């Protein structure tokens, strides 16, 4: 399969798996987030497998668990499954409690490859940009997150710290800038 064919197939599979899903608070189709993550991965030098994983990074967690993992393996191979698994904080339904799940993900991220870190951080860059946009619009964004304001702020700082431990990549600078703005805007809410 050509690179273009793999990317198109990943996009179409993501559209199928996440059909009807929407982003928290905005009602924007979830596929837009997946497109943004794949684009960030590509813009920051990701290879074909990483871009495919950008489209599919939430598929196991939010669109079918083990069954979807095997579908991804069949269509895209073990390397893509490894990347997707590296971005997945659970494949259980219902999901375990938020804080222990996030702490376990952070612990796992410490040992992940640079390839996984790129896809994971691209996801967090897009998520944090969305939070910043909502805060700038004056929205009460925190009510949409299980961890609330404090948990969300903690989690993004920890992602930045853990992902950047021993890995130096320009996408970390982008995440740091966005997380700083998120904290500034959150602090301004309290002032």
Q: Name which residue leads in pLDDT, 93 or 126.
A: 126
Determine the pLDDT at residue 20.
Answer: 87
Place of tokens 């990483």: 50
Catalytic residue among 48, 49, 61, 85: 61
User: Which entry of 48, 49, 58, 62 is annotated as an active-site residue?
Assistant: 62
Q: Do the Cβ atoms of 55 and 35 come closer than 8 Å?
A: yes
Q: Quick: pLDDT tens for 153-173.
A: 999 999 999 999 999 999 999
- Is 48 catalytic? The answer is no
Q: At 161, which CATH number?
A: 1.10.3210.10
Is 184 known to be catalytic?
no
Which position has the token pair 């993900």? 105
pLDDT for residue 1 is more than 60: no
Structure tokens at 9: 């197939």
The answer to whether the beta carbons of residues 186 and 149 sit under 8 Å apart is yes
- In terms of Cα–Cα distance, which of 13, 33, 29 is closest to 21? 29
Name the nearest CA neighbour of 61 among 75, 45, 46, 72. 72
Element (H, E) at 59: helix 59-62
| Four-CA torsion 58, 183, 96, 123, nearest 10 degrees | 10
Q: Please tell me the total count of domains within the chain.
A: 1
Tell me the pLDDT tens digit for each residue of 96-151: 999 999 999 999 999 999 999 999 999 999 999 999 999 999 998 999 899 999 99
Report how far residue 18's alpha carbon sits from residue 78's, in angstroms, rounded to the nearest whole number. 21
- Distance from C-alpha of 46 to C-alpha of 51, rounded to nearest angstrom: 6
When the pLDDT of each residue in the chain is averaged and rounded to a whole number, the result is: 94
Of 93 and 82, more confident: 82
Full residue range of the structural domain in which residue 63 is found: 3-190
């Amino acid at each position: 399969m050509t690179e273009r064919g793999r990317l198109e197939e990943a996009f179409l599979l993501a559209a199928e798996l996440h059909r009807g899903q929407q982003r928290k608070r905005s009602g924007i189709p979830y596929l837009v987030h997946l497109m943004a993550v794949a684009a960030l991965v590509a813009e920051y030098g990701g290879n074909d497998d990483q871009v495919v994983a950008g489209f599919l990074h939430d598929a196991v967690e939010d669109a079918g668990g083990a069954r979807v993992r095997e579908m991804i393996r069949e269509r895209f191979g073990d390397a893509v499954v490894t990347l997707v698994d590296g971005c997945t904080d659970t494949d259980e339904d219902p999901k375990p409690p938020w804080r222990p799940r996030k702490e376990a993900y952070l612990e796992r991220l410490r040992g992940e490859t640079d390839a996984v870190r790129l896809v994971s951080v691209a996801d967090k860059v897009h998520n944090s940009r969305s939070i910043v946009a909502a805060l700038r619009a004056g929205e009460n964004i925190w009510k949409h997150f299980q961890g609330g304001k404090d948990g969300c702020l903690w989690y993004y700082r920890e992602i930045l710290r853990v992902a950047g431990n021993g890995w130096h990549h320009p996408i970390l600078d982008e995440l740091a800038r966005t997380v700083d703005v998120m904290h500034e805007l959150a602090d301004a809410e309290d002032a």
